[in-house]
Each structure stands twice: as C-alpha cells, then as structure tokens.
Structure 1
C-alpha cells in the first residue's frame, strides 16, 4: 500500500490512548478473575488432600494471563479480527493454569475432580499424554469455562488448564528454553536429543507410577496401614 505524500497525519489524543488502555485492562481483568476461580478450586482440592488423605497428588500450581503485547502478537499470528468478541471466540488460552502432579494417573484424576464440578463447562480437551506431540511433548490440556460474577452481571470465562507430571514439566521447560535460545530454529541433533529426553521422561513416569502402585498395594494388604 502506498501512502500519498500529502496525506494528513493521524493524531491520537491522550484521552483516546487512556480509553484504549482501560478497555484492554478491563478485558484482561475478566480472564484474571476466571483464572483465580480455577486456582481457588485447585487450592481447595489440595487442602482437602493435605488434611483428609494421606497422599496429595498436587505438587505445585502456576498461572498466568497473557500480557497485552503477547495477546496482540497471537492475534496477528492467527490472522483474526482484533475485536474483543473475536478474541473471546478464537483465543482460548488468554488465561492459563498449570497443575503439576506426582504421577500420570494423578493428571487424569485431578482433571475429573475439576471438570465434574457443577459450574465448570468443558469446551475442549487435548490429551497429549495418550497421544504425545511429534517432538515428545506430553500434557493433558483442557479448555474450561467458569462463571465470573461481576457488578455488571455474570460472564463465562475460558481458562486453559494443563495437567502434567514433574518429569513432563521439567522436559517442557527445558524444551521451551532451547527453542527460545535458537529462535525456533533448533539444530537437528538437538531436536533428536530432545525427543530422546522426552522418551526417557516418559519411561521414568511409568517406572515411578509402577513403584507407587506397588507401595499402595502393599499398604492395602497390611492391616492398619493408611491407603
């Protein structure tokens, strides 16, 4: 596109900039509230396991809401309309919660405990544990909707929740750092090494889960031992 040399410059007032900033902040605030609702639900489950059971499957929980810059970059990358309604429809990971578990079975157990709650609606599930990505990435992803009660009314907010084991999380963190360092152009030999490391992490998960199951069965067999 050619801009005429005599084109009038476009001026944006300070008031307009403030108004645009406030709109974005209000938009992202809804996602922050939705994220906090999910965090509260996970926190309640964790406290219940800590106080009423002998085993807590939740190792740690992290969360984030995309920054305005990150959101703008994703809108441009996906080529969608930049309006708020379009973003609501097409971008479902504006808010994210990651639950790191002890064992693979815990990921599915916590997913079930969260999604069976009456006010949670499941929009989509991607089981990368059962079917890992080609690079070896494993995690259970769920897009859930949770109601957020505002002074202006109730809004349904989508939140991406990821469930993964410690080994899966460790591998994913290192893989992300390597891709960031090489700006996405990772040498082939490192790609192969990462896949081998993913297979090793999966084998470790299987071995640890087997040991945990044997210990649980042993406790069940002994009278008076907590299960």
Structure 2
C-alpha cells in the first residue's frame, strides 16, 4: 500500500468518524432535553412520566446495507438523504397518556423540527406493534458549521416495549420466517398488552382523582422546597409576596 493510499484511507476514516459523531451529538442533545424534563417532573409534579430512555447508533455495516437496499450512492449526502434512522432514541413510559404528553413537550422545543409522525398506537401495525414514532431534526454545532441531523424517536409504554422486544427476538431466531401459530400468538399477546395498558390508564385516572381530594398537610408541603435532597423552607415574606402578586393579577383582570 502506497503512502498516498494510506493518506486517502485516513482521510475517509476521519470523514466517516466526523459524520457519525454528528449523530452521536444529536442524540446527546436529545438526551439532555429528556433529562431536563425528568428533573422538572421530579421536583414539580407527583410522578415522572418518563420511565427510562435508550439510544442507539446504526453500525456502519447496517448503514451501507440499508443504502444498497434503497439503491443510493455511497456518499455522505446520499446516506443523510436516504437513511433517517441512523440515530434512534426510545422513551418508555408507564401510561398511554404519557406518550402524547411527552410528544407535545418535544414538539414545543423551539430548536427541534418535527419532520414526520407515525402513530402506531391509534393505528397499530397488522402484527400488533404499537408505538409513537417521531422523526425530528436536531441542530448540531460542529467546530466549523451547523448541521441539522435527523433522529428517530420511539415513545411507548412498558407493555408495548416488552412485546416489541419479544417480537424482535422471535423474528431474529427464525430469520424472519416465523411459523404461523407463533404469529397468531404474538398478535394475541399484543392484544393482551393493549388491554393491560388500557386498564392501567383507567387506574391512573382514578388515582389522580383521589390525590386531588387529599388536602392534608398541604400548607406544610407548599412552604417547603426539596432540591438535590436538600430541604428549604420558603420565607413567610416570600409566600406573602407571591400571594399579593396573585391578588394583583386578579384585580387587573
């Protein structure tokens, strides 16, 4: 191998590394946004709708194989144009309503551009797959330019995620040729997961009603802040100031 060939390979490797880093940085941006939302809910609300998140980058081999299937050219521009799921983020929730709540919060992020929404919850796939898919464009600021990078976000409940994981393992084991009886049982399992999600959603609403009716120790809880496991008492002067501000706003109305 000549020195010129070595230099060419090094250059291509650096360019591909930089290309993949763009998607890594886009995922980092999204994960930071999710962490901020999780902390906000932890401090200001009764529960956190985000159970956990998982991110992944497609391997170079998977990217090239998918590009071949799509008939695209082997260029960075072609990869970026034809393959929109190089970077993926999965958000798992407890309840169906949380999925749409998180969806709305992400759409309200001014620096995120939602390119596409596929609602497989309201319109499940024939095999029973259910999830909400968003394709978003994330701004990434590199050392010499700004890039707009696509990331696929999947939002689903724990039950949906468990079913999808099982389905993936079965398809992998049978190399896509799954016996008919297993496909039927998978669909039945998907229906059972849907019934469980609906029951849990109903219980969630009932618990919310009970919480609204409980007012014990409300004054004590309102006068305290807990941040990073530190408890702070809100001074009475500040409480009275906030009360006056509310009265002033009512008078203005």
TM-score, structure 2 length as denominator?
Answer: 0.82
Q: Please report how far the alpha carbon of residue 225 of structure 1 lies from its aligned counterpart in structure 2 after TM superposition.
A: 8.0
Name the CA distance, whole Å, in 2 between partners of 1:222 and 1:52.
Answer: 17
Match among 76, 82, 101 for residue 84 of structure 1? 76
Deviations 1:82-103, CA, capped at 9 Å, x for gaps: 2111221121111010000010
Unaligned runs of 5+ in 2: 219-253
Whichever of the two has the greater Rg, that structure is 2
What CA RMSD, in Å, does the superposition of the two structures yield over aligned residues? 1.4
Are the counterparts in 2 of residues 178 and 186 from structure 1 also a CA contact under 8 Å?
Answer: yes
Aligned to 1:30: 22
Name the CA distance, whole Å, in 1 between partners of 2:33 and 2:211.
Answer: 30
How many residues are treated as equivalent by the alignment? 215
Name the CA distance, whole Å, in 2 between partners of 1:113 and 1:104.
Answer: 15
Are the counterparts in 2 of residues 100 and 166 from structure 1 also a CA contact under 8 Å?
Answer: yes
Deviations 1:62-101, CA, capped at 9 Å, x for gaps: 0011111111111112222221112211211110100000
Deviations 1:117-155, CA, capped at 9 Å, x for gaps: 110100000000110001000000000111111111211
Aligned to 2:179: 187
Q: Cα gap change, 1:225/1:107 in structure 2, threshold over 3 Å: closer, same or farther?
A: farther
Match among 147, 161, 180 for residue 169 of structure 1? 161
1:210 maps to 2:199: no
After superposition, where does 1:47-196 map in structure 2 within 5 Å? 47-196=39-188
Unaligned runs of 5+ in 1: 1-11
4+ residue segments displaced more than 3 Å? none
Name the CA distance, whole Å, in 2 between partners of 1:87 and 1:26.
Answer: 14
Name the CA distance, whole Å, in 2 between partners of 1:225 and 1:197.
Answer: 44
Are the counterparts in 2 of residues 219 and 225 from structure 1 also a CA contact under 8 Å?
Answer: no
> Per chain length, whose mean CA-contact separation is higher, i.e. which structure has more relative contact order (CA < 8 Å, sep 6+)?
1
Deviations 1:11-33, CA, capped at 9 Å, x for gaps: x9333322222221111110110
